[in-house]
Amino acid sequence: MAANTFGQRFQMMSFGESHGPAYGVVIDGMPAGVRYDEALLLKNLSRRKPGSSAFVTARNESDQPEILSGFFEGKSLGTPIAVVVRNENQRSTDYDKIQNEARIGHADDTWKNKFGHSDHRGGGRSSGRETLNRVIAGSFAQMLMQQLSSQVLAGSALPIQVFAYAKQIGNIQIEEATHELPKDIQAMLEKAKSEGESYGGVVECRISQVPANLGQPVFHKFKADLAQAMMSLGATTGFELGAGFEGTEIKGTEFHEKMISENYGGIRGGITTGEDIVFRVGFKPTSSIKAVAKKGRHDPCIIPRAIPVIEAICWHLLADHWLWSRTDRV
């Protein structure tokens, strides 16, 4: 299994299993001199961690990161950054049955068929808990990009902003762009959790004050890397940039003539224009349903905890492509 590294210039190797001793990352490519922001890292991990509300999994993990290398006196050294988060609240016996009886909709059977030998406890490597590694890497990328933003990276005094929110849960559209779910949605998910039901939905994300000229055509266009990164998340079913599939119904004179940024999603020719990048990611209903959901500790909807992961991945891509763009020309 060799596909556990993400990024070209700002690289992250993710390791760990759901019920193993720890999850962790090794980050390579962070420039020296970036200030460490512990509050930012802890805040991002807290938004993703389990047990944070009544409508997410009850697994109780503190998700406290241990930084093993890469920083000295509060600044990055330019050397690899190694971070681990210890697993503290495993209940491996909950998964004894699936060792020989795969759960419908999960990766239990496909991973076992592919590799012959796999960790069935909590889904092992295929667990959604792996996303905490992406939040760690994205948080360090955010530290880099925010420090660069303060140096007027994007030609503006305004900092880069990355904001994702639930656009839709089940068949309910959510109008307000906020990290907080409406109370009726919260109640719906609490009820689903108690009844062994689950929901999917859509997350929309907007990246503002984007540096122009990010993206490496032809195989690492910014939109291509963005789509690949989002679709590498568990439970994703679709990706739309800008006008997305609705844009296929618009006549060319309407789509192009006014050069509406929202139609292009802030990317043309695979290269960022400096305008807002807007995209959406679709998620299927959580696979754990009925008796499996009631017995174990599962999310009735992955979206609330996927939002900080999506934001973290965006920061990672911004850092990766910004570093890459420094070698575009003399």
* Residue 20 pLDDT level (bands cut at 50, 70, 90): confident
Residue 281, preceding peptide bond in cis (omega within 30° of 0): no
**Per-residue pLDDT reduced to its tens digit, 180-220:** 999 999 999 999 988 989 999 999 999 999 999 999 999 99
- What is the pLDDT at residue 59? 58
| Phi and psi angles of residue 137, each rounded to the nearest 5 degrees, phi first | -60, -45
In a domain, 263, yes or no: yes
Q: What is the DSSP letter of 218?
A: T
- What is the pLDDT at residue 258? 64
**Per-residue pLDDT reduced to its tens digit, 235-250:** 999 999 999 999 999 8
304 CB contacts (<8 Å, ≥6 apart)? 53, 55, 56, 166, 181, 189
Look at 179 and 107; give whichever has higher pLDDT. 179
* Residue 149 pLDDT level (bands cut at 50, 70, 90): confident
In a domain, 229, yes or no: yes
Q: What domain range is 150 assigned to?
A: 5-325
* Residue 260 pLDDT level (bands cut at 50, 70, 90): low
| Burial (CB count <10 Å: 0-12, 13-18, 19+), residue 52 | middle
Contacts 24+ apart (CB under 8 A), 92-95: 92/19, 92/121, 92/122, 94/122, 94/295, 94/296, 94/297, 95/19, 95/120, 95/121, 95/122, 95/296
* Residue 124 pLDDT level (bands cut at 50, 70, 90): low
In a domain, 321, yes or no: yes
Helix, coil or strand: residue 163: strand
Half-sphere exposure of 3 (CA within 13 A, CB side): 4
Q: Which helix (H) or strand (E) holds 111?
A: helix 108-115
How far is 299 from 53, CA to CA, in rounded Å? 10
Q: Is 38 left (phi over 0), alpha (psi -120 to 50) or beta?
A: alpha
Q: Specify the CATH number for the domain of residue 176.
A: 3.60.150.10
* Residue 12 pLDDT level (bands cut at 50, 70, 90): very high
- What is the pLDDT at residue 86? 93
**Per-residue pLDDT reduced to its tens digit, 51-73:** 666 676 665 668 999 999 999 99
pLDDT above 70: percentage of residues in the chain: 87
- What is the pLDDT at residue 194? 87
CB 28 within 8 Å of CB 6: no
**Per-residue pLDDT reduced to its tens digit, 104-119:** 778 888 888 888 887 7
**What's the N-to-C CA distance of the chain in angstroms?**
38
- What is the pLDDT at residue 106? 82
Q: What is the residue type of 154? A: A
- What is the pLDDT at residue 107? 82
In a domain, 138, yes or no: yes
For 117, the token pair is 């030998």
Is the confidence at residue 155, as pLDDT, over 60? no
Please compute the mean of the pLDDT values over residues 308-324 and round it to a whole number.
98
- What is the pLDDT at residue 262? 82
- What is the pLDDT at residue 19? 85
The residue to which tokens 């420090």 are assigned: 147
Number of domains in the chain: 1
309 CB contacts (<8 Å, ≥6 apart)? 48, 131, 134, 135, 138, 233
* Residue 267 pLDDT level (bands cut at 50, 70, 90): very high
* Residue 278 pLDDT level (bands cut at 50, 70, 90): very high
**Stated pTM of the model:** 0.92
Q: What is the mean pLDDT of the chain?
A: 89
- What is the pLDDT at residue 94? 59
- What is the pLDDT at residue 78? 98
In a domain, 330, yes or no: no
